[in-house]
Structure 1
Amino acid sequence: MAWDETRSWIAGDANQPLYQALLDDAATAPARNALRKKVVRPDEMPWEMARQGLLKHLINEAMNTRMETVDAYMQIIPPGSRSGKHRHLAEECLYVLEGSGYDLHQDCDVEITDEYFWKPQDLVQRFDWEAGDVIYIPPNTIHQHFNADPARPARLISSTNRIFKYSGLNDLEQIEDAPEYEAGAVLTAETIRQYLRNPG
């Protein structure tokens, strides 16, 4: 009989108000959100000398903005230089604000089971871009951005969806560092100007 199953599912003494926590979180969200930024000013956007290159974070989970699902940064590539090379499971979209150059993309074969495996394919593809273009990075593609202009910087706006991270798929691997990368470097408007004048 069905009630014979009681011996299995009735076991356990743990109590926790998890559903009530969801209700409480929803009820207090408007007050919390009122304290989160809807407008972020340039001086509130943190610089980072990252392994991927010179970044100015526009929207990031750590910045206390109203944005729940998207992270975005501006990448500055000095004249004749390049970004780092990396791979991530999330797809990425970049808008070219300034400059011209090209991307190198290398697709990977992926297997996701209890473990996660990826292997680069042999083909490396080149995609040229210039100001006004949008660059699409497919999921799990090794990619790198190159500034083809020896005299002018390139600026790209990168956007990725952080839902991948919340889904347990926050796979990000740095394969090559940007030439400008220096651990612990402190960036200011003046140091950025120096990078733009003196590539490498």
Structure 2
Amino acid sequence: MGKSGRVFVRGLTSQTYGLGEFRRRQLAVDRVRDDSVVVDDAKVGHSGDSAKSRTWWRIGPGDEDFLTQTIQVHFVELPPESSNHGHGHQNEAAFYILEGRGYEIHDDQRYDWNKDDLVFVHTDSVHRHFNPYQERAVALVVKAKCTWMFMGLIQQGRSGPVEEEDRFGPREDWSRIWTPGVLDRKKVISPADTTWQDTPLGRVRVMSSPERTDARIFSVDAFELDIPEGGHSGKYWKMADEVYYVLDGGGYALQWEVEAEIAEKYYARIAREPKRYDIRRGDTLYVPQNHVCQIFAADGTPLRLFNAQNRVFKHLGYDTVHYFEPASTTTA
């Protein structure tokens, strides 16, 4: 949270062309955050909360200490028989339902959701969240909002009339400039819409990816990873940073920093020793850009995680994950 208001996009400045010092400061920050970390309680610069609903941020561009702005993480809580305020923004958001059930009103249409569903607020959506039931509902929200902000897509706010309305003509259908076919895509991905697959990373349930052309989201990729008791994920290297949320169980992650040796071309130099990060239920684990990572279930129970990353990396040419060794549950 910024000192004078909400930070939507963080600037990057340096007295030199090389940005190694900035990266060193960023990598020095603790990468595991639990419920004690609230970087923004939504009292400034957010229009979604009602008298009952609650929103709070875990990871965002205004954080001190700063982790990332490629993927933001916050939570929404709706007590029994409550709703939040409706508003609209150009950026997408993905809601993973941690507890309860309820429904959305998006552009005057209703979409019901339950625990373990992934719900999409689509681009340019006017939306509101409802919980008409007797148990509370809690959602983990991941989004690439800064990508929209950086690109100047900043038209957002509560429903209301246009300022200086006399300057503008009659209403036009905004969806004329959307990607063809988006109205036919799913707004809610439930467990029934997915299958568990054994991959080099481990046992995975993909909810959002470029290959899932039935899902109405273009900026956030998401999956669940299930690591059996005493097992481990694949040891993998990728350019995109990512966030894991621990749904159940506990264990630890090993992360190896990758340095760039700039010679006649780029060479990767992987740290000889990893850094270890212990994780438990309710924690977020951040994996920085250009790192090697491996995750272990180590508390005597299976480890179940939700993963999210900004899909833009794949459009920038970083669409490959390299595996140094597969997960303990697969021979791939």
CA deviation map 1:68-116 (0-9, x unaligned): 0111110001011111100100001000000010011110112579854
CA deviation map 1:5-25 (0-9, x unaligned): xxxxxxxxxxxxxxxxxxxxx
Offset of residue 58 of structure 1: 1.6
Please say if residues 55 and 76 of structure 1, whose CA atoms lie closer than 8 Å, have aligned partners that are also in contact.
Answer: yes
1:1-200 to structure 2, matched below 5 A, reads: 27=176, 29=178, 32-63=181-212, 64-111=214-261, 115-150=265-300, 152-183=301-332
Q: Give the secondary-structure state (helix, strand or coil) at the position aligned to 1:101.
A: strand
- Figure out how many residues of one structure are paired with residues of the other and give that number: 157
Offset of residue 28 of structure 1: 6.7
Q: Which has the higher contact order (CA 8 A, sep 6+)?
A: 1
* CA distance in structure 1 between the aligned counterparts of 2:201 and 2:244, rounded to whole angstroms: 14
With over 3 angstroms needed to count, the CA separation of the structure-2 counterparts of 1:60 and 1:113, relative to structure 1, is farther
Amino acid at match of 1:38: K
Offset of residue 123 of structure 1: 2.9
* CA distance in structure 1 between the aligned counterparts of 2:177 and 2:193, rounded to whole angstroms: 26
Offset of residue 171 of structure 1: 4.1
Please say if residues 257 and 270 of structure 2, whose CA atoms lie closer than 8 Å, have aligned partners that are also in contact.
Answer: yes
RMSD, aligned α-carbons? 2.0
Structure 2 gap segments, 5+ residues each: 1-174
**Percentage of matched positions with identical amino acids:** 32
* CA distance in structure 1 between the aligned counterparts of 2:196 and 2:235, rounded to whole angstroms: 19
Q: Give the secondary-structure state (helix, strand or coil) at the position aligned to 2:181.
A: helix
With over 3 angstroms needed to count, the CA separation of the structure-2 counterparts of 1:30 and 1:51, relative to structure 1, is closer
* CA distance in structure 2 between the aligned counterparts of 1:167 and 1:139, rounded to whole angstroms: 13
CA deviation map 1:109-166 (0-9, x unaligned): 125798542110223111101000000001111110000023x211011111110110
Please say if residues 86 and 175 of structure 1, whose CA atoms lie closer than 8 Å, have aligned partners that are also in contact.
Answer: yes
* CA distance in structure 1 between the aligned counterparts of 2:177 and 2:260, rounded to whole angstroms: 41
TM-score, L = length of structure 2: 0.45
Please say if residues 49 and 182 of structure 1, whose CA atoms lie closer than 8 Å, have aligned partners that are also in contact.
Answer: no
With over 3 angstroms needed to count, the CA separation of the structure-2 counterparts of 1:32 and 1:111, relative to structure 1, is farther
Please say if residues 53 and 84 of structure 1, whose CA atoms lie closer than 8 Å, have aligned partners that are also in contact.
Answer: yes
Offset of residue 168 of structure 1: 1.6
With over 3 angstroms needed to count, the CA separation of the structure-2 counterparts of 1:87 and 1:31, relative to structure 1, is closer
TM-score, L = length of structure 1: 0.72
With over 3 angstroms needed to count, the CA separation of the structure-2 counterparts of 1:110 and 1:81, relative to structure 1, is same
User: Which segments of structure 1 move beyond 4 Å, counting only runs of 4 or more?
Assistant: 111-115
Q: Give the secondary-structure state (helix, strand or coil) at the position aligned to 1:76.
A: strand
Q: Give the secondary-structure state (helix, strand or coil) at the position aligned to 2:186.
A: coil
With over 3 angstroms needed to count, the CA separation of the structure-2 counterparts of 1:34 and 1:114, relative to structure 1, is farther
With over 3 angstroms needed to count, the CA separation of the structure-2 counterparts of 1:31 and 1:168, relative to structure 1, is closer
Moved more, 74-83 or 28-37: 28-37
